[in-house]
Amino acid sequence: MPAMKTTRPAQITTPRGSAPGFPLKDAEHPFVIDRPAGSPGPGGGNVCPVVPVEHGWPGCDRRAFANLSPNFWLGLSGFTTLASEWWFWEFIGMASSRIGPSTLAAQSVIVTISTLMYQFSGGASLAAAGRYGNLVGAGCTRRAGHTVWAALGAGMLFGTLTMLVMLVFRHTLAGLFSSQEDVVALVVKVLPTVALIQIPDSIGSTLAGVIRGAGRPKVGALINCIGYYVVGLPVGIFLTFSHLQLGVCGLWLGMLMAVTSTAIASFYYVFIGLIPDHWLRERQRLIIDPSRSQFKFHQDLPADITDYGTINSL
């Protein structure tokens, strides 16, 4: 929850500042194309998002430097979680450049398609993080557990749909990005392997959102680092450049191993460690001070904390 307090101001000011900036850039675009000196329009559009932030900033205060350590480690964990995945994509891109220019072009097309398909499971991950964090903070541990299952089902659904799209329309998708026959043929060859990644990747990203919502970003960072750089990257490099000579397919098989291992580790942590731990803590809190709870706590059924419908707004 500290991350929500930190990022909330930017979520409010950025859309309001960007609203006048984008139309200004589009209006000036025809005047910039044939003018090497440029135009003040794009620069003015870039300034627009800064204006509300500048007016809303009260200035530097000593209180701003209080409690920097928790925020630093929270930010570092979140950065490591995201950067470990993004850098892995860059590493396999650099590795594909060692094979040849056609392979690098095909790799760029595949990464673009994968990024487009990831937006669905990425949205489920963000929704799971906010929903699970709110319910756990409200003490609704049972509903939080049901939220995890619902988010997991949504992630599996999105992963299955994107997998089918990649398998059925792989020729069409490859032709949208390139007209070179060798590049298109290589993309069509690799896309079935990339399609297999979609389901474990969707599951892993959704559960990673649950872990973030529970306030455990360090665990997510550790899982990603081990999955991508201890399992995935060595396997991909070996399959690509060893005597097997699988080419770019070997790199994506390494990615498949990485996302599968992170999905398994996240699933184990969430359902074996995280949810039972939250449930146990809530039971102990109710036993110590039942008056603080909004639940109807039944003494004859201490294991059944019935929090259905306690907070309808969540």
Across the chain, mean pLDDT equals: 77
| CA–CA separation, 209 and 125 (whole Å) | 5
Q: Does the global pTM surpass 0.75?
A: no
pLDDT reported for residue 138 = 78
pLDDT reported for residue 179 = 85
Per-residue pLDDT averaged across 173-192, rounded? 90
Left, alpha or beta for 311 (phi > 0: left; psi -120 to 50: alpha)?
Answer: beta
| CA–CA separation, 267 and 269 (whole Å) | 6
Residue 308 has pLDDT above 50, yes or no: no
Per-residue pLDDT averaged across 217-221, rounded? 88
Q: Are 111 and 95 in contact (CB under 8 A)?
A: no
| CA–CA separation, 199 and 160 (whole Å) | 6
Residue 157 has pLDDT above 50, yes or no: yes
- Domain borders along the chain are 2-62, 72-292
| CA–CA separation, 199 and 202 (whole Å) | 5
Q: What is the pLDDT of residues 204-218, one digit of tens each?
A: 999 988 888 888 888
122, two tokens: 């990425």
59 or 4, which is more confident?
59
Out of 107-111, 161-165, 230-234, 277-281, least confident range? 277-281
Alpha carbon dihedral 46, 50, 51, 54, in 10-degree steps, equals -160
Residue showing tokens 């070996």: 238
